[in-house]
Structure 1
Amino acid sequence: MNVKQYLKTTKEIPLKKETLIHLILIHNRIKEAVSEVLKPFDISIQQYNVLRILRGQNKKPANLSTINERMVSKMSNTTRLVDKLISKGLVDRSVCPTNRRKVEILITNDGLDALAKMDEAVDGAEDFLTGDFNDNELKTLNALLNKFK
């Protein structure tokens, strides 16, 4: 993606500014592609992230704080996301038997099944988005991105 062409400008853009604009445009493209493949499942990217976190707990419950800490997007309202997933039957919430102030959240079997199907769709989008890169280029890109503050 050529930033100048995308912005329809011939004006010179300072390199740092062009780099950041480029990253924003790529970020938006990735979000659009992943959102599109999750649309048939009626799941947002943030809800998908919650399901993946809960699956990663290996059948151990998580609390809202744990989920929030592991979210890719920290701007998400975790309580609202969990409530939506509960209403869809993909997660369960219960009160911790040893600490009644603690709420435990667990992915359901239906949630695991749905997540496996979503994973296939997301994997396809990831393959499409990164299809022009080889493994060495992806490793280099990741190393460069790790330098961002």
Structure 2
Amino acid sequence: MNIRCRSRYGTQSGTLRTSTYRRRLRSLLLIEGLSPETGAGILTGSATIPYVRVTNSITSGDAWLRIQVLQDLAENRLLFSLLALQEDGAKGAEVAVTENGEYTLPCFAGSTVGQLMITVDSYAALWDMIRNDYSGRLVDVLELKAA
């Protein structure tokens, strides 16, 4: 399986290149190939070592989807979920993360992706980046290619 991660950076109102979008978007990130040992780095700023890696997925075909991380300040945790590309579209169940480790994110109904396996390698750095740079919400767009 190949995974391409794409995201664009812009203003809250969007740009001509990204169209109109209500939230801050991230810069283009393209990763091809997936190694279970290293995984594809996602949800990371300019750090040289990724905070989160995609380590595997169960998919029956090519798919585009978004991975979202919400910061829950009351419970001191991050909530990961998979989203359809459309704003206010389908959403997979949230998975609460409170430390480094391996997690399985279920996808939403109707997607060719059943689940996405990730490894959080730097929970503290991810927490700080989301709080300081993304106002409590971070989203990357993933393109998954079936092998």
TM-score by length of 2: 0.28
- The structure with more helix, counted as a fraction of residues: 1
Larger Rg, first or second structure (1 or 2): 1
